């Protein structure tokens, strides 16, 4: 059965033939919790990948009562969290706890920081927009930034800005970052929902053999990315935005 990936949810998604797919939800967005009851009759388990640094302390908010939330593009909430410190688009701790005890729910990790690095390895499509790149790395001269792309800080070695220029990040520093991110993520799960997840959804759907090897050393067994999967251990997913509505 094909797997479908959601970020923010909108009204039109519930008009799709979702029962034909296994569903996964990235980032830990509030809309995932808000609309959860609409998935109650889904025939397969729902998998939620949580970015733990974006989950703040707080009580559970009201759930769907007929009113639909304003929809945002995939990168909107992440950018607002990392640049402005605004976590309102994500679940609270209590909301994740309510989610985790549902019988049809599986909880996985989606990193702790969900951070990016600058690289000269360019994706087929620019991601995210240039304004995001400039805001995330304000210390880097604009002329140097224009030649770079932002990619997953976990999946790519990337560059760091030192002594007035961009330099390749040492491989040992890259590995240390993966381990620190993973350990903080697992500590959050242990503290808040008393669980050791073994499912992992890659931030930005980007991965590398190094990242997979280190994650496996922490007990992760099941890995998810986007549709262009090139590793036998990674499960590919369709973006929900590419699904066709059910025929009348």
Q: Per-residue pLDDT tens for 12-36?
A: 999 999 999 999 999 999 999 999 9
| Domains of the chain, earliest start first | 3-114+180-242 (3.20.20.370)
The whole-number average pLDDT for the span 132-159 is: 90
For 237, the token pair is: 């997913």
The whole-number average pLDDT for the span 228-232 is: 86
The whole-number average pLDDT for the span 107-121 is: 95
Which of the four pLDDT bands, split at 50, 70 and 90, describes residue 230? confident
pLDDT at 245 over 80: no
Between the alpha carbon of residue 28 and those of residues 7, 114, 123, 173, the distances in Å are 9, 11, 25, 27
The whole-number average pLDDT for the span 151-171 is: 94
pLDDT digits (tens, 9 = 90+) for 122-136: 887 644 445 777 888
The whole-number average pLDDT for the span 45-56 is: 98
Q: For the chain, what is the mean pLDDT?
A: 93
For 9, the token pair is: 């949810």
Between the alpha carbon of residue 232 and those of residues 1, 209, 212, 216, the distances in Å are 17, 11, 11, 14
The whole-number average pLDDT for the span 188-214 is: 97
Pair 79, 87: CB distance under 8 Å: no
**Amino acid 74: pLDDT:** 82
Q: Look at the chain and count its residues.
A: 248
């Amino acid at each position: 059965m094909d797997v479908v990936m959601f970020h923010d949810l909108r009204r039109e998604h519930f008009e799709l033939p979702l029962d034909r797919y296994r569903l996964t939800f990235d980032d830990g967005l509030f809309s995932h919790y808000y609309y959860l009851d609409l998935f109650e009759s889904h025939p397969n388990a729902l998998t939620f990948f949580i970015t733990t640094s974006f989950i703040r302390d707080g009580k559970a908010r009201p759930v769907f009562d007929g009113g639909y939330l304003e929809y945002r593009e995939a990168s909107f909430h992440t950018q607002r969290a990392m640049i402005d410190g605004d976590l309102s688009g994500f679940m609270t701790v209590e909301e994740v706890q309510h989610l985790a005890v549902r019988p049809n729910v599986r909880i996985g990790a989606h990193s702790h920081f969900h951070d990016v690095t600058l690289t000269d390895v360019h994706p087929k499509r620019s991601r995210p927009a240039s304004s995001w790149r400039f805001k995330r790395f304000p210390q880097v001269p604009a002329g140097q930034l224009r030649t770079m792309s932002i990619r997953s800080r976990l999946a790519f070695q990337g560059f760091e800005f030192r002594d007035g220029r961009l330099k390749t990040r040492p491989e040992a520093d890259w590995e240390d970052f993966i381990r620190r991110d993973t350990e903080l993520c697992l500590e959050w799960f242990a503290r808040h929902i008393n669980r050791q997840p073994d499912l992992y959804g890659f931030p930005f759907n980007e991965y590398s053999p190094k990242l997979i090897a280190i994650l496996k050393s922490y007990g992760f067994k099941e890995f998810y990315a986007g549709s262009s999967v090139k590793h036998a251990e990674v499960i590919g997913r369709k973006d929900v935005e590419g699904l066709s509505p059910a025929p009348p």
